[in-house]
């Protein structure tokens, strides 16, 4: 009995003219999207390699302690599966005078959009008359006059319909993946393929939410024309309105001062304020060495001063002590101001983190948001993936700094005239290599979103059974 009902439902959907139409549309769109995104990925990877190369050559040639931090800006390689979820593009993170604004007005299309907009819409169009249509034909009474329980009917209808959509999804996804695999310049390893499988599962969970919405509306209204309107209305609210509004609402509920303001404050603390403080501290040192100061002032240039100091050992010692104290004064000023700015930035960024957490939580009431976060994290282009990269980058930077400091200490021993603007040879520095997180790590990061999606499914399914049991036949 179960099998017959399932097959009937499946055949009903697959032989629908619309099935063919939308499978072609999705296949076509996905193929175009993939081919364009693949090219985009390649250019981005070339760009990344170029960046690494210019950086390497530059450091080899111009490395000096003073600005080594600016030179060693660790670059993030583009994620392979960005083809499926654009997520946060690294370009958008940077704030410069030369922004690419087109992305802002027209965010690029990707697999996530195809699922969230096209497939969910199709799910609704397929399911909105699952009961009302049969009730209008009179076939519903006919079916229920047999030994079929209502629960069983909902299950078969749901599974049959979803199966037809899954078939279409598999077709278009398979063609997309085959297209990518045929291209030699990108190699998907088992990790990526597993991530892809999980993305596919997530898509199924997401689509089924809207399939259930359509079924509930069908059982609730009992007429095809009202149920399609009601379910499309719900669709529009949940996929077009709420996900876009919720981050803005959340960010306004919990305000964080603008980053421009924060950076301006930090700049003042580390700039003008530090200079003032340093000068005041230096003044105290100057007062301790009035004689030496006169000598320094009277000496016309560095060489004369050095010559004078060479002749008088007592004076030279005094000079060294003086220099040390001045350096200490500046160090002290730096330390005080750094602590101050550190306080401000800890405070600011904890606020920012709280804002982001709240925003994410609020936006999770829309399945679209859950789905986009989950897929982008799975694909390695999401918020979690970015944090993962930043962690690794931070660790690497620490080890790199240790390396540089050791090298500088070594040079200082042999070179008396060393200063921070002198070239240092760090050609043998450690190389940064980044491997994307493995699937299990990504999966645990997206688990909460998956659970939310499943809870949505379960709740909707229960509602469906309740609603269908109440439906008059």
Partner 1 sequence: MIKLFIKKELLENIFSFKFLIMFLLMFFSLNTAIFIMTKDYKARLQNYDILKPSKNEAFAITYPTPFSIFAHGLDDNICNLYQITFGGQIETGSQKQAINKIYNFFNTPDLLYIINIILSFCAILFASDLITREKEQGTLKLIFSNGIKRPAFSLGKWIGGYITLIIPIVLSVLFGLIFFIILAKIPFQFSDFIRLLIFLFFVLVYLAGFFSLGLFISIVSRSSAFSMFFSLIVWVSLVFIIPRSGNLVAKQFINIPSVQTIEIKRSQIFIKAIFEYINSHYEKSKIPQGIINQQNDKIREDYLNKLNAVESIARKITSISPASDLTFLCTDLCNTGFREEQRFKTFVIMFKEQVKNFDSDSDGNLVGDFTPFSYARSPLSDFFNLAMMLHFSILIMYILIPVILGYYAFLKFDVR
In the set 376, 446, 457, 467, which binds partner 1 (CB under 8 A)?
376
Residue 141 Cβ, how far from partner 1 at the closest point, in Å? 21
Toward partner 1, which CB reaches closer, 244 or 323? 244
Other C-beta atoms lying within 10 Å of the C-beta of residue 415: 11
Query: Which element (helix H / strand E) includes 302?
Result: helix 302-311
Our finding on whether 101 is near partner 1 (CB under 8 A) is yes
Task: Yes or no: say if 176 and 31 are a contact pair by the CB < 8 Å rule.
Answer: yes
Residue 398 Cβ, how far from partner 1 at the closest point, in Å? 20
Our finding on whether 137 is near partner 1 (CB under 8 A) is no
Give the range of 317-325, 358-366, 450-458, 464-472 binding partner 1 by CB under 8 A: 358-366
Q: How far apart are CA 214 and CA 350, in angstroms?
A: 42
- Which residues face 423 on adjacent strands? 64
Q: Which of 378, 367, 361, 355 is nearest to 447 (CA)?
A: 378
Toward partner 1, which CB reaches closer, 4 or 91? 91
Q: How far apart are CA 180 and CA 83, in angstroms?
A: 9
Our finding on whether 228 is near partner 1 (CB under 8 A) is yes
Give the range of 183-191, 285-293, 394-402, 419-427 binding partner 1 by CB under 8 A: 419-427
Helix or strand or coil: residue 161? helix
Toward partner 1, which CB reaches closer, 119 or 456? 119
Give the range of 65-73, 185-193, 444-452, 461-469 binding partner 1 by CB under 8 A: 65-73
Q: Which residues between 380 and 399 bind partner 1 (CB under 8 A)? A: 383, 386
Our finding on whether 350 is near partner 1 (CB under 8 A) is no
Helix or strand or coil: residue 47? helix
Our finding on whether 334 is near partner 1 (CB under 8 A) is no
Helix or strand or coil: residue 278? helix
Q: Which residues between 16 and 35 bind partner 1 (CB under 8 A)? A: 17-18, 21-22, 25, 29, 32-33
Q: How far apart are CA 147 and CA 144, in angstroms?
A: 7
Measured CA to CA in angstroms, residue 411 lies from 14, 91, 122, 327, 406 at distances of 75, 38, 68, 20, 9
Give the range of 168-176, 200-208, 240-248, 283-291 binding partner 1 by CB under 8 A: 240-248
How many binding residues for partner 1 (CB under 8 A)?
102
CA 358 to chain centre: 16
């Amino acid at each position: 009995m179960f099998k017959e009902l399932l097959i009937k439902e499946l055949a009903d959907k697959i032989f629908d003219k619309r099935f063919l139409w939308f499978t072609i549309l999705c296949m076509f769109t996905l193929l175009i999207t993939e081919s364009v995104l693949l090219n985009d990925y390649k250019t981005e990877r070339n760009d990344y390699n170029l960046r690494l190369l210019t950086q390497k050559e530059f450091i080899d040639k111009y490395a000096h302690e003073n600005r080594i931090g600016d030179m060693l800006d660790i670059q993030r390689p583009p994620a392979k599966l960005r083809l499926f979820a654009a997520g946060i593009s690294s370009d958008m993170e940077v704030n410069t005078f030369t922004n690419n604004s087109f992305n802002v007005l027209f965010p690029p299309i990707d697999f996530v959009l195809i699922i969230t907009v096209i497939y969910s819409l199709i799910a609704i169009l397929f399911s909105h008359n699952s009961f009302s249509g049969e009730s209008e034909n009179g076939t519903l009474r006919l079916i229920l006059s047999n030994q079929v329980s209502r629960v069983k009917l909902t299950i078969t209808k749901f599974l049959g319909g979803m199966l037809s959509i899954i078939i279409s999804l598999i077709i278009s996804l398979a063609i997309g993946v085959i297209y990518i695999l045929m291209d030699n310049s990108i190699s998907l390893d088992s990790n990526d393929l597993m991530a892809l499988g999980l993305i596919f599962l997530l898509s199924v969970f997401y689509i089924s939410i809207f399939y259930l919405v359509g079924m509930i509306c069908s059982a609730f209204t009992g007429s095809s024309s009202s149920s399609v309107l009601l379910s499309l209305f719900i669709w529009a609210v949940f996929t077009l309105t709420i996900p876009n509004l919720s981050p803005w609402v959340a960010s306004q509920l919990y305000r964080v001062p603008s980053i421009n303001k924060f950076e301006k404050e930090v700049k003042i603390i580390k700039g003008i304020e530090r200079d003032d403080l340093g000068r005041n501290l230096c003044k105290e040192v100057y007062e301790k060495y009035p004689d030496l100061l006169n000598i320094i002032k009277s000496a016309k240039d560095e060489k004369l001063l050095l010559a004078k100091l060479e002749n008088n050992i007592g004076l030279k010692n005094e000079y060294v002590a003086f220099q040390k104290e001045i350096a200490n004064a500046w160090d002290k000023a730096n330390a005080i101001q750094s602590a101050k700015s550190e306080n401000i930035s800890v405070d600011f960024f904890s606020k920012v983190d709280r804002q982001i957490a709240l925003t994410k939580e609020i936006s999770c009431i829309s399945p679209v948001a859950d789905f986009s976060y989950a897929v982008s994290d799975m694909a390695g282009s999401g918020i979690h993936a970015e944090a993962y990269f930043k962690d690794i980058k931070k660790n690497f930077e620490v080890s790199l700094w240790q390396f540089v400091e050791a090298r500088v200490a070594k040079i200082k021993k042999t070179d008396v005239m060393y200063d921070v603007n002198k070239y240092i040879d760090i050609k043998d520095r450690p190389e940064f290599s980044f491997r994307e997180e493995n699937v299990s790590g990504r999966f645990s990061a997206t688990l909460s979103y998956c659970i939310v999606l499943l809870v949505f499914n379960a709740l909707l399914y229960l509602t469906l059974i309740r609603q269908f049991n109440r439906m008059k036949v």
